[in-house]
């Protein structure tokens, strides 16, 4: 009988996840469509690429694309399958959490954890991402690890790692716990992990010429540009500053306490969500909502554990070391009354987010919304390209998911995810380079990004591109503007980033008489032609001349290039650009630039931004021509097509 009762929550979780999958089957953010297009190209025999004949690993989840491609071969609609996978995977993750709690003797806690995972308000806007399939695998790994089924644990860890590289965090946590608990290294499991992963990564290397996706470099470039919100500020805004968080906060606090008093496996589960969050902070990436879902999982598990208060609070009172009269046994009837009241309050707090979750999903179910107006606009635009342009057409855009999937045209990705070479220019907010480099047939402009992509007024763009269409969608206030290339062009001189150091946390001090500041650097290509340095004015007007010198080394007597400019023309906290004739044989050489201002004095001088740490390994900061700790913030460029 108990087994029959125990299976009811499992059926409930799966049924609820199926219902949620039905609601969100045609609703997802833009990013999953990148992976979906990889899957579609595989299924249609176009190869494991985003743009056919361009093997570039621009998806975070290539193994997930292979799984989706299998369904595509069977004739299923890949976006719908992908969107369904997310809630179904979360439902299976809830099942594993429930089974784990049941094994430990508190099934109601497991039931609440599972319901919170499925009904919390943070997951609904991120369905479609592969993160949920990974969470299912990781929760399965924790469950099998607790049951000491280490082979299954390893297989689930391998799959989680292959789905997304950050799945390695769970493997590391479980490995460390195994070593601490068993006083030995899990050699067999480590070998199995390597054997299962090796063929996949060998294939990646020979097909894409890399072991890992290019998406990390692209995301770090986005963060360094300052245009995208940082990961931790985004987490605070997305999770902690939402009204729904206050409904969960009492449960998280109470549940967190009782979770720490429970079996160690639960501490491992929570550690995974926390370490995942810390890892993304350290990686220096922007905020995307699905990056925070592992933390949400940890918070929801903590919330479910709040129910243990009902059972264990009296025991804590009875065993308390405090010897005040209030806690003597004769006063327990009073304490039981207090406990009963607190239990009622706690159950009320549990009921609030569950009710809100059910209400939110019911509202979506009743109104049956599909894509957001913005996504509908992107689909409409993609289909317009599919119907009105030849297959070889190339299109430049910044949000490529839906437009790329439904157009099935060659995409030039201005955000750097699927187009080689773009990422390092994003760091400098240079969205023009990709258009100049790849000369797309069409350029799609979303005015929502007009503060980022300032290209329409460029003389060269006006010369070669003409607006031919404007597409709108009810509910979205911006219209997409489509520009067509009127004639072929090839920029004879395209500046490309050669080296950079983008960290800065301290100004070097005022550049005055006798205080020269410089930086050495290494050049990777011929035709070095530009240097940009981040300068600052202390938010004041400065009046004296500053001299920029470029030399072959700090000891060189002759300048390769010298430029004098007045401090009054320096912008505060902005890059100053120094262009010079290309150095034809600069590849493989070291160079040195420095600033001096013989007439400047304290209170009337500019400065340069620097980092106090040695982030740039192929050069160093120089003060008064002596090597110093740290580096300046700078970028060097070369003319790539003059090599």
Burial 303-331 (b: 16+ CB within 10 A, else e): bbbbbbbbeebbeebeeeeeeeeeeeeee
pLDDT at 320 over 50: no
Phi and psi dihedrals of 362, rounded to 5? Answer: -65, -40
> Above pLDDT 70, what percent of the chain?
92
Beta bridge partners of 259: none
**In a 3-state reduction of DSSP, which class is residue 2?**
helix
pLDDT band of residue 370 (cuts 50, 70, 90) is low
> Does 521 have pLDDT greater than 50?
yes
DSSP 476: E
Burial class (CB in 10 A: 0-12, 13-18, 19+), 298: buried
Q: Are 495 and 637 in contact (CB under 8 A)?
A: yes
Structure tokens given for 324: 């005040």
Please name the residues in contact with 311: beta carbons below 8 A apart, sequence gap of 6 or more: 106
Let me know whether 612 and 518 are in one domain: yes
Query: Among residues 601, 609, 608, which one has the least CA distance to residue 545?
Result: 601
Rounded CA gap, 101 and 109, in Å? 7
pLDDT range class, residue 217, cuts 50, 70, 90: very high
What confidence tens digit (pLDDT) does each residue in 398-412 have? 999 999 999 999 999
Q: Is residue 21 part of a domain?
A: yes
Q: How far is CA 592 from CA 536, 629, 636, in A?
A: 20, 16, 12
Tell whether 401 and 337 lie within a shared domain. Answer: no
CA angle (13 as vertex; 10, 14 as ends), nearest 5: 90
Residue 147 lies in a domain: yes
Query: With contact defined as beta carbons under 8 Å apart, do 204 and 269 qualify?
Result: no
Do 534 and 437 lie in one domain? The reply is no
CA distances from 475 to 371, 377, 626, 634 (A): 11, 10, 60, 43
Confidence of residue 341 (pLDDT cuts 50, 70, 90): low
User: What is the rounded CA–CA span in Å between residue 74 and residue 81?
Assistant: 11
Based on the fold, state whether residues 499 and 446 are members of the same structural domain. no
Least confident piece of the model among 254-268, 351-365, 529-543: 351-365
* Closest listed residue to residue 445, CA positions, set 460, 465, 428, 418: 465
Last residue of a domain, one of 367, 400, 422: 367
**pLDDT tens, 119-146?**
998 988 889 999 999 999 999 999 999 9
Band of pLDDT at residue 340, cut at 50, 70 and 90: low
Residue 504 sits in the same domain as residue 481: no
Q: What is the largest CA-CA distance in the chain?
A: 93
One domain for residues 264 and 134: yes
Instruction: Select from 338, 367, 396 the last residue of a domain.
Output: 367
Q: Which of the four pLDDT bands, split at 50, 70 and 90, describes residue 323?
A: very low
Report which of 481, 479, 483 is spatially closest to residue 377, judged by C-alpha positions. Answer: 479
CA gap 501, 509 in Å, rounded:
19
User: pLDDT: is 134 or 247 the higher one?
Assistant: 134
Task: Tell me the DSSP string of 95-159.
Answer: HHHHHHHHHTT-HHHHHHHHHHHHH-TTSGGGTTSTHHHHHHHHHHHHHHHHTT-HHHHHHHHHH
Neighbour tally for 485: CB within 10 Å: 17
Answer yes or no: is 115 within a domain: yes
Helix, strand or coil for residue 70?
helix
User: What does the pLDDT look like over 482-506, one tens digit per residue?
Assistant: 999 987 777 767 888 899 998 999 9
- Tell whether pTM > 0.85: no
Q: Do 458 and 503 reside in the same domain of the chain?
A: no
Domain range for 166: 2-367
**In-domain check, residue 490:** no
Q: Is residue 42 part of a domain?
A: yes
- Tens digits of residue pLDDT in 150-185: 999 999 999 999 999 999 999 999 999 999 999 999
Place of tokens 């003060």: 623
Q: Evaluate whether residue 191 is within a structural domain.
A: yes
- DSSP letter at 286 equals B
Handedness of CA 557, 562, 565, 569 (dihedral sign): negative
Whether residue 190 is found in the same domain as residue 78: yes
**DSSP label at 29?**
-
pLDDT of residue 368: 58
Residue 626: in which H helix or E strand, if any? strand 626-628
Total length of the chain: 643
pLDDT digits (tens, 9 = 90+) for 28-60: 899 999 999 999 999 999 999 999 888 999 999
Say if residues 354 and 304 touch (Cβ distance below 8 Å): no
* Residue 382 lies inside a defined structural domain of this protein: yes
Least Cα distance to 287 among 231, 237, 223, 242 occurs for 231
CATH of the domain at 517: 2.60.120
Token pair, residue 470, equals 């404007």
CA 231/CA 293 separation, integer angstroms: 12
One domain for residues 359 and 301: yes
pLDDT over 60 at 329, yes or no: no
What is the number of structural domains in the chain?
Answer: 3
For the segment 88-119, what is each residue's pLDDT rounded down to a tens digit? 999 999 999 999 999 998 899 999 999 999 99
For residue 633, report the phi and psi dihedrals to the nearest 5 degrees.
-90, 115
63 and 108 fall within a common domain:
yes
Binning pLDDT at 50, 70 and 90, where does residue 369 land? low
- Do 419 and 499 fall within a single domain? no
Please give the C-alpha separations between residue 191 and each of 158, 197, 201, 203, in angstroms, as whole numbers: 11, 10, 15, 19
Can you tell me whether residue 56 is helix, strand or coil?
Answer: coil
Specify the DSSP class assigned to residue 449: G
pLDDT tens string 353-364: 888 777 777 776
* 212/175 same-domain check: yes
Give the separation between CA 398 and CA 295, rounded to whole angstroms: 28
Within a domain: 629: yes
Phi, psi of 564, rounded to the nearest 5 degrees? -105, 135
């Amino acid at each position: 009988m108990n087994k029959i009762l125990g299976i009811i929550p499992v059926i409930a979780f799966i049924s609820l996840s199926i219902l949620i999958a039905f609601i969100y089957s045609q609703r997802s953010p833009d990013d999953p469509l990148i992976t979906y297009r990889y899957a579609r190209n595989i299924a249609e025999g176009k190869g494991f690429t985003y743009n056919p004949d361009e093997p570039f690993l621009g998806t975070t989840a290539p193994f997930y694309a292979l799984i989706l491609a299998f369904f595509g071969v069977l004739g299923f609609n890949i976006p719908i399958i992908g969107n369904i996978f997310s809630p179904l995977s979360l439902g299976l993750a809830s099942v594993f959490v429930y089974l784990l709690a049941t094994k430990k003797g508190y099934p109601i806690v497991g039931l609440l954890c599972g319901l919170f995972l499925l009904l919390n308000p943070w997951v609904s806007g991120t369905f479609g991402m592969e993160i949920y399939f990974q969470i299912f695998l990781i929760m399965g790994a924790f469950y099998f690890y607790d049951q000491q089924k280490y082979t299954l644990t390893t297989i689930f860890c391998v799959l989680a790692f292959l789905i997304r590289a950050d799945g390695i965090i769970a493997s590391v946590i479980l490995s460390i716990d195994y070593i601490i608990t068993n006083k030995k290294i899990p050699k067999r499991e480590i070998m199995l992990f390597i054997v299962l992963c090796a063929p996949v990564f060998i294939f990646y290397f020979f097909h894409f010429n890399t072991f890992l996706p290019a998406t990390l470099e692209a995301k770090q470039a986005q963060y360094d540009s300052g245009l995208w919100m940082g990961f931790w500020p985004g987490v605070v805004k997305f999770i902690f500053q939402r009204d729904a968080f206050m409904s969960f906060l009492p449960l998280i606090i109470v549940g967190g306490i009782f979770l720490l008093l429970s079996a160690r496996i639960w501490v491992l589960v929570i550690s995974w969500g926390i370490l995942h969050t810390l890892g993304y902070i350290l990686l220096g990436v922007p905020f995307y909502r699905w990056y925070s879902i592992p933390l949400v999982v940890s918070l929801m598990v903590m919330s479910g554990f709040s129910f243990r208060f009902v059972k264990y609070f009296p025991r804590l009172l009875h065993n308390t070391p405090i010897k005040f009269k209030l806690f003597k046994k004769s006063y327990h009837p009073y304490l039981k009354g207090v406990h009963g009241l607190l239990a009622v309050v706690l159950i009320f707090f549990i009921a609030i987010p569950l009710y809100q979750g059910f209400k939110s999903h019911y509202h979506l179910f009743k109104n049956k919304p599909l894509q957001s107006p913005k996504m509908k606009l992107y689909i409409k635009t993609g289909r317009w390209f599919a119907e009105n342009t030849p297959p070889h057409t190339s299109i430049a855009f910044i949000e490529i998911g839906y437009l790329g999937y439904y157009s099935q045209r060659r995409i030039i990705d201005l955000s750097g995810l699927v187009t080689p070479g773009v990422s390092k220019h994003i760091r400098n907010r240079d969205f023009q380079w990709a258009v100049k480099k790849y000369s797309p047939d069409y350029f799609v402009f979303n005015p929502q990004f007009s503060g980022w992509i300032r290209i329409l007024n460029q003389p060269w763009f006006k010369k070669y591109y003409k607006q031919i269409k404007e597409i709108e969608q009810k509910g979205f206030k911006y219209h997409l503007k489509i520009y067509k290339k009127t004639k072929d062009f090839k920029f004879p001189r395209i500046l490309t980033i050669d080296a950079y150091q983008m960290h800065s946390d301290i100004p070097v001090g005022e550049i005055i008489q006798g205080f020269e500041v410089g930086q050495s650097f290494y050049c990777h290509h011929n035709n070095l032609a530009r240097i940009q340095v981040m300068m600052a004015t202390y938010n004041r007007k400065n009046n004296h001349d500053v001299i920029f010198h470029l030399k072959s080394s700090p000891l060189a007597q002759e300048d390769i290039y010298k430029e004098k400019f007045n401090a009054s023309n320096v912008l505060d906290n902005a890059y100053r650009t120094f262009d010079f004739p290309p150095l034809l044989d600069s590849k493989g050489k070291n160079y040195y630039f420095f600033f001096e201002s013989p007439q400047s004095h304290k209170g009337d001088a500019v400065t340069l931004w620097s980092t106090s740490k040695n982030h740039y390994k192929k050069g160093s900061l120089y003060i008064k021509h002596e090597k110093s700790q740290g580096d300046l913030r700078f970028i060097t460029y070369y003319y790539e097509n003059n090599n």
